[in-house]
Amino acid sequence: MTGRALITDVQNTWCPGCGNFSLQHTLKNILTEMENEGRSLDNVVLVSGIGCHAKMADYLNINSFYSLHGRTIPVATGIRLANPDLTVICCCGDGDCYAEGLDHLIFAAKRNIDITVLVHNNRVYGLTTGQYTPTSPLGFRGKSTPTGTAEFPLNPIELMLASGATYVARGYTKKMDQLKTLIRNGIAHRGFAFVDVLQICATFFPAADYYTPRVYDLADHDPASFDRACAKAREWDYNSDARIPLGLFYQATFPGFDERMATQGMAAELREKAIRDLLESRI
């Protein structure tokens, strides 16, 4: 399937200026690079939830599974366990996986299942026209909160670090080169890779004027240090006026869920040794 057209001719209904276009083109460029390096795109599967983000499954010409709202990650986990030769990429919404599917996100990180999760974090329920999500800022006005939310937002970077994720990054749809590197390296990472993508929702949360002057690159940060990753995660709490670090917060090597599951059929003493060897392979 070399040189296939990666953008389908399905009618695109994203709003002009939507951050999903940046993610679509970033994924297209990554898939093209993978193909040019000799990897068959037949071994790549995209799993989406339900929402504006989920239309990625319609607009990118690769194997895809349009799942249920909040159920992106269990579907991806099942695909990966059934066929470890597949590279599985999840396109989730912030409503999709920080609200409806939050438990799945935490357990995928805890298990270190080898999938890559991209959260199209526009900080709003886009498709259903503007209700607040767990990452909407305090006071966010939308259809369900006409006088502003009374809730403080969740910090997904902190949550993923606490849940055991072995690759934790944050990108921004207006920093496409960095976004591409973060997603590419996440796909290459052995284990659970999580990229929270600050995404412009042109209609219900057009936050570029807020993000663009605040973002900076975590270039000098050491992603091997869990403690420093936690400190960096707390610099911006998805609500304050602080500067917003973008880049790789944390990366570690730890045996994946599929590797540990593979030891289950072994005789007891072999299994013990296999698990010991796997744990010693941690950095």
Under rule CB under 6 A, residue 125 binds ligand TPP? yes
Q: Which of 49, 70, 93, 153 is close enough to bind Mg ion by CB under 5 A?
A: 93
Q: What is the 3-state secondary structure (H, E, C) of the chain?
A: CCCCCCECCCCCCCCCCCCHHHHHHHHHHHHHHHHHCCCCHHHEEEEECCCCHHHHHHHECCEEEECCCCCHHHHHHHHHHHCCCCEEEEEEEHHHHHHHCHHHHHHHHHHCCCCEEEEEECCCECCCCCECCCCCCCCCCECCECCCCCCCCCCHHHHHHHHCCCEEEEEECCCHHHHHHHHHHHHHCCCCEEEEEECCECCCECCHHHHCCCEEECCCCCCCCHHHHHHHHCCCCCCCCCCEEEEEEEECCCCCHHHHHCCCCCCHHHHHHHHHHHHHCCC
Of 49 and 191, CB closest to ligand TPP: 49
Could you say which residues in the range 42-71 bind ligand TPP, by CB under 6 A? 49-53, 69-70
Of 97 and 229, CB closest to ligand TPP: 97
Minimum distance of Mg ion from residue 219's CB (angstroms): 28
Taking CB within 5 to 8 Å according to partner kind, which of ligand TPP, Mg ion, none is near residue 50? Answer: ligand TPP
Could you say which residues in the range 130-169 bind ligand TPP, by CB under 6 A? 133
Taking CB within 5 to 8 Å according to partner kind, which of Mg ion, ligand TPP, none is near residue 100? Answer: ligand TPP
Interface residues with ligand TPP (CB under 6 A)? 49-53, 69-70, 93-96, 100, 120, 122, 124-128, 133
Interface residues with Mg ion (CB under 5 A)? 93-95, 122, 126
